[in-house]
Amino acid sequence: MMFPRPGKRTGKKDVPTETPVTGIGSILIGIPFGGADFWLRLHADGSGERLLGLPDTQETAPSFAGARVFRLAMYDKALLFPKNLKGKALRNAMIRDKEVSDMPASVMAHQLRWFTRKSSVVFHGRPVHPLGASLWAYARKQGWNPQDGILLRTSIPMQESTLWIYVAMGKTGLGLPQTAIIPKESDRPSYNHTLSAGILPKEHPVHDIPADQLYDWLARGKHLRYPQPTEWFGLPMSRVGQSVLVSGILFGLVGSGIWWFGQSHLTQEEHTKETLRLAQMRLAHMRQVFLRHHLFVIAEQFAIPLHRDIAAARVLWKPGTRVVLADGLGLNTGISTGEPILRKPGAAGVTQHSPAQIAIQIPEIKNRGPGQPDWVSAALMDAVIRQPPFDGFTLHSIQTNTEGNGYVVIFSQYP
């Protein structure tokens, strides 16, 4: 079976780098979940297995030998840039993306620029493929015309739960991915269309990709991957060095310079940053595991009506927002907020051992239209603040995020 090449050659500096067809192997997928990267191994039957205990550093993991790595994290981007945007101007445009904000690595395919942080093109010794580009190629093969605006979704069974992945794509690029892990018997989660601002038209088709077919496509097809530290415009550095050395001593010096440049692309600062990021991911996972095993014991010890609090949080939550619940201690939303721009008359301040509070975080949404500023969905804000009281929870205050990432709406059981 032959599969079409997902991208065209668009110039000497933008030759898509592809992995050869070597048969079915291990498939690793990275997606955003809970503010961190979530990694899983996809099996041939379409089931998923979460990867736990990843090393703190990007050392080669023996268990990943021969694996293909696909990722669609918050810092994996695909955008349509003007054709005349090149060189330093193009690099600066990619760096301005708040999730990347680092020296980028990029490649062209499907008339889009696929880019990520240069320090993230390798995952434990394996080259990273942009999952969005592979999904785009799959959609084209199916005749779904992703450039016209479509929504892809897939569900991956993982023991007692199901992982859902939603990806919007159109001619201007990819929307932010939406992921959810729900019990197997639960209904399919709704898609938050604010994540696809400027990507999807009002009327657009939705296509499902069976997980076993996704595995088959990722395992057997040719796939775009990010430029690697050991390559120069898609060619192995060793081959480049050999070709140049044959031309004579002068070209040999040039080849040595190219080799040094390719091998030293990661500075000590970038390495330290990546190590810290992985350590934070492990710490966040350890905290989640601890709370998952001890949360209800703690709640019972302090007579906290956790089930009622969670039920209220579910009602007040709206798709596209994030909920932080506090009962018995001061509320910590995990972000820096300014003074309330709206406070319920007579509402008390937050004190230790305070009554229950629920913070609804409304994120800043990026408009993908050319030259359009960032914005917060007015419809989403209105849906949150105009909710009727539920089980004693009423609107307490609205605060701005001083980091420029939207608003925080606080509901509390204060009288």
Determine the angle formed by the axes of helices 249-263 and 237-246, rounding to 10 degrees.
170
* pLDDT above 90 as % of the chain: 29
Most confident listed range (105-114, 243-252, 262-271, 314-323): 105-114
DSSP H or E stretch at residue 293? helix 268-301
Mean per-residue pLDDT for 31-35?
88
Residues 192-222: pLDDT tens digits?
888 887 899 989 999 999 999 999 999 987 8
The DSSP code for 318 is -
Residues 77-108: pLDDT tens digits?
999 998 888 888 888 888 877 677 678 889 99
Question: How are beta strands 206-208 and 150-158 bridged, if at all?
Answer: parallel
Q: Is the pTM of this model over 0.85?
A: no
Site of tokens 């023991």? 159
* pLDDT above 70 as % of the chain: 65
pLDDT band at 14 (very low <50, low <70, confident <90, very high): very low
pLDDT of residue 140: 95
Residues 77, 80, 86, 92: what is their CA dihedral angle, to the nearest 10 degrees? -40
CA–CA dist 376, 381 (Å, integer): 8
Bigger pLDDT: 184 vs 174: 174
Lowest-confidence pick of 22-36, 52-66, 126-140, 233-247: 233-247
Q: Which residues contact 249 (CB under 8 A, 6 or more apart)?
A: none
Site of tokens 């430029």? 227
Mean per-residue pLDDT for 326-331?
58
Main-chain phi, psi angles of 356, to 5 degrees: -60, 140
Domain boundaries, the chain: 12-229, 303-412
Alpha helices (runs of H) in 142-267, residue ranges in sequence order: 211-220, 237-246, 249-263
pLDDT band at 114 (very low <50, low <70, confident <90, very high): very high
**Mean pLDDT across the chain, nearest whole number?**
75
